[in-house]
């Protein structure tokens, strides 16, 4: 797992930052963890959970003497924070991040960093719809991918250290150019979030269907989208503003295909619908085989027998359906 890091500074301590803190502690990946958030209330929560060894609301103070600095903040704040911490960075330190957009991350951070400080951008492809230091958990990154997008000229020892850290947290590590990352994530994450937010918004503003009906009958499919549409608004606003070109390109593909489906429905072209609906099953199978999804039906959501109904044999009580 590589050598232990003397001091890690976590700038931002939300879902991702606090999961890193828990994992670093759990697997003993660093000697000391400095925790920072701009909000005193968040710092207090982090302290209550014992996520670090030192706590501060000032980023420059947190990075002082740190061998590794990880930004776990919305992408829109990178430039200002990089400017703020730059003078306090230790020579030879590694700066990294966890953001969902990488070209913009590099563009915002690199100009501020002094010579001899290594920027190794990282993106752990993991998360839940919950936010804040209380939402993190040790196991979040296990089996998930973490993508590193360093420039070709970045020091390979620094890259190797980041790889070791993420493997230590349970992740699989991949490396690719930042612009390719932004294109891959536009289709696997950003556009899915956009259309989830969008349909939830559409459903909330209809004349002939009430919000109460939308909520009651959400189990027909809609509720799956609401999970993603409950993700952190600031983080996602920044993702769309900072990965504009790739998102607009992938969104263009999506709407082009959707228009073709719409036309097939209008003209009753059942074969086209059936063909698409058959092909899409293989993709899910591939994701399950790649270890990136559970095989349990309905995501393994609990299907529970209420005690009042439990009049027959007890074998159906409080269990998930078998696969």
Q: Which of the residues 280 through 299 are near its own copies (CB under 8 A)?
A: 280-281, 283-287, 289-290, 292-294, 296-299
Tokens standing for residue 246: 């790739």
Pick the piece of the chain touching its own copies (CB under 8 A) from 4-12, 48-56, 141-149, 158-166: 141-149
Q: CB of 308: closest distance to its own copies in angstroms?
A: 9
Closest CA to 264 of 255, 253, 252, 273: 273
Q: CB of 64: closest distance to its own copies in angstroms?
A: 28
Contact indicator for 99, 178 with CB cutoff of 8 Å: no
Of residues 171 through 230, those in contact with its own copies by CB under 8 A are 174, 180, 183-185, 187-204, 206, 208-209, 211, 213-230
Q: CB of 307: closest distance to its own copies in angstroms?
A: 11
Which of 6, 114, 143, 156 is close enough to bind its own copies by CB under 8 A? 143
Sketch the per residue contact string, 105 through 124, with its own copies: x for CB under 8 A, - otherwise.
Answer: --------------------
Q: Is 142 in the site for its own copies (CB under 8 A)?
A: yes
Pick the piece of the chain touching its own copies (CB under 8 A) from 20-28, 46-54, 59-67, 106-114: 20-28
Q: Is 6 in the site for its own copies (CB under 8 A)?
A: no
Q: Is 80 in the site for its own copies (CB under 8 A)?
A: no
Q: Which is nearer to its own copies, 152 or 212 (CB)?
A: 212
E strands present in the chain: 5-11, 30-36, 54-56, 68-71, 94-97, 118-120, 122-124, 145-148, 172-175
Contact indicator for 179, 151 with CB cutoff of 8 Å: no
Q: CB of 97: closest distance to its own copies in angstroms?
A: 16
Q: Which is nearer to its own copies, 91 or 312 (CB)?
A: 312
Contact indicator for 132, 42 with CB cutoff of 8 Å: yes
Pick the piece of the chain touching its own copies (CB under 8 A) from 34-42, 47-55, 59-67, 127-135: 127-135
Centroid of chain to Cα 195: 17
Question: Is 14 exposed, middle or buried, given 0-12, 13-18 or 19+ CB atoms closer than 10 A?
Answer: buried
Which of 84, 130, 132, 177 is close enough to bind its own copies by CB under 8 A? 130
Q: Which is nearer to its own copies, 85 or 140 (CB)?
A: 140
- Beta carbons within 10 angstroms of residue 154's beta carbon: 18
Pick the piece of the chain touching its own copies (CB under 8 A) from 52-60, 81-89, 149-157, 239-247: 239-247
Question: Is 176 exposed, middle or buried, given 0-12, 13-18 or 19+ CB atoms closer than 10 A?
Answer: middle
Of residues 34 through 73, those in contact with its own copies by CB under 8 A are none
Q: Is 305 in the site for its own copies (CB under 8 A)?
A: yes
Number of shown-chain residues binding its own copies (CB under 8 A): 130
Report the length, in residues, of the chain. 323
Q: CB of 74: closest distance to its own copies in angstroms?
A: 11
Contact indicator for 119, 81 with CB cutoff of 8 Å: no
How far apart CA 172 and CA 253 sit, in angstroms, is 29
Phi, psi dihedrals of residue 320, rounded to the nearest 5°: -85, 155
Q: Which is nearer to its own copies, 21 or 89 (CB)?
A: 21
Q: CB of 209: closest distance to its own copies in angstroms?
A: 5
Q: Which is nearer to its own copies, 36 or 225 (CB)?
A: 225
E strands present in 113-270: 118-120, 122-124, 145-148, 172-175
What is the gyration radius of the CA atoms in the chain, in angstroms?
22
Which of 137, 155, 164, 175 is close enough to bind its own copies by CB under 8 A? 137
Name the residue with tokens 């489906």: 261
How far apart CA 234 and CA 256 sit, in angstroms, is 28
């Amino acid at each position: 797992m590589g050598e232990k890091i003397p001091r890690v500074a976590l700038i931002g301590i939300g879902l991702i930052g606090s999961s890193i803190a828990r994992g670093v502690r759990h697997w003993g990946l660093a000697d000391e963890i400095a925790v920072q958030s701009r909000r005193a209330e968040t710092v207090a929560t982090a302290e209550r959970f014992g996520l670090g060894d030192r706590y501060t609301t000032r980023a420059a103070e947190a990075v002082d003497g740190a061998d590794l600095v990880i930004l776990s903040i919305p992408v829109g704040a990178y430039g200002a924070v990089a400017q703020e911490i730059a003078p306090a960075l230790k020579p030879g330190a590694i700066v990294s991040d966890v953001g969902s957009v990488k070209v913009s991350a590099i563009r915002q951070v690199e100009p501020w960093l002094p010579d001899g400080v290594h920027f190794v951008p990282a993106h752990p492809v993991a998360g839940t719809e919950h936010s804040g230091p209380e939402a993190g958990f040790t196991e979040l990154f296990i089996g998930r991918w973490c993508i590193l997008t360093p420039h070709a000229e970045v020091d390979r020892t620094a890259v190797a250290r980041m790889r070791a850290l993420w493997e230590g947290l349970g992740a699989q590590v991949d490396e690719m150019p930042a612009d390719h990352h932004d294109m891959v994530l536009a289709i696997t994450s950003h556009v899915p979030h956009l259309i989830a937010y969008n349909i939830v918004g559409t459903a909330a503003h209809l004349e002939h269907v009430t919000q109460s009906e939308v909520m009651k009958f959400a189990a027909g499919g809609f509720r799956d989208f609401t999970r993603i549409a409950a993700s952190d608004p600031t983080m996602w606003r920044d993702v769309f503003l900072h990965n504009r070109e790739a998102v607009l390109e992938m969104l263009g593909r999506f709407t082009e295909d959707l228009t073709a489906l719409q036309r097939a429905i209008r003209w009753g072209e059942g074969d086209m619908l059936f063909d698409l609906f058959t092909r899409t099953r293989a993709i899910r199978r591939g994701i399950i085989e790649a270890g990136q999804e559970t095989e349990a039906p309905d995501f393994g959501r609990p299907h529970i027998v209420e005690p009042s109904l439990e009049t027959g044999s007890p074998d159906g009580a409080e269990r998930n359906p078998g696969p």
